[in-house]
């Protein structure tokens, strides 16, 4: 599959929205007691605000027909004057989604590589993201990209 990775434009939100619902539905299948149906991780207003914020990066992947088939929402997290941590900048991947029929086509790897390049350009010390334990496919992908567990968040259902 041929595709292009590029920075998102304001006009991309209508194409990103169904992908947000797709990934939210995937999470809902894994944890239906936590996730709302047809949810989106980012409103249109927030999307436009992120586009204007120099600490935020939104990337999209377009297929040969110019359709948006994947995205990544990221930002630089400036850790400063923390009581425990030294000061550093961290590139946080908040949300990444590849349209299900386009998985295993290299798009996820290309998006991740572009995120890594941007993180280096912004002098970030590391990249971080959160991934749900039930999402074993994503966990395997991120490990294959070189990511390692840093913190495990535990839960006790009551």
Residue 66 domain-assigned (yes or no): yes
8-state DSSP, 43: -
Q: Residue 5 in contact with residue 111, Cβ under 8 Å?
A: yes
The Cα–Cα gap between 54 and 85 comes to 24
Instruction: Report yes or no on 43 lying in a domain.
Output: yes
The CATH number given to whatever domain includes residue 62 is 3.40.630.30
Domain count, the chain: 1
Nearest to 73 by CA among 146, 23, 28, 120: 23
Spatial separation of the C-alpha atoms in residues 48 and 52, rounded to whole Å: 7
pLDDT in tens, 103-132: 999 999 999 999 999 999 999 999 999 999
- pTM exceeding the 0.85 threshold for the entire prediction: yes
For residue range 39-92, list pLDDT tens digits in order.
888 999 999 999 999 999 999 999 999 999 999 999 999 999 999 999 999 999
CB 41 within 8 A of CB 91: no
Domain that holds residue 88: 3-144
In a domain, 151, yes or no: no
């Amino acid at each position: 599959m041929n595709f292009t990775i590029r920075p998102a434009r304001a006009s991309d939100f209508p194409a990103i929205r169904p992908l947000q619902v797709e990934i939210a539905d995937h999470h809902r299948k894994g944890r239906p007691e936590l996730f709302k149906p047809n949810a989106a991780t980012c409103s249109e207003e927030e999307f436009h605000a992120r586009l204007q914020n120099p600490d935020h990066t939104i990337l999209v992947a377009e297929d040969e027909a110019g359709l948006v088939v994947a995205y990544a929402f990221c930002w630089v997290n400036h850790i400063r004057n923390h009581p425990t941590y030294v000061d550093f900048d961290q590139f946080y991947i908040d949300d990444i989604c590849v349209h299900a029929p386009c998985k295993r086509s290299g798009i996820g790897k290309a998006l991740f590589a572009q995120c890594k390049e941007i993180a280096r350009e912004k002098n970030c010390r590391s990249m971080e993201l959160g991934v749900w334990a039930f999402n074993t496919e994503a966990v395997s992908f991120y490990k294959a990209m070189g990511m390692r567990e840093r913190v495990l968040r535990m839960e006790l259902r009551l």
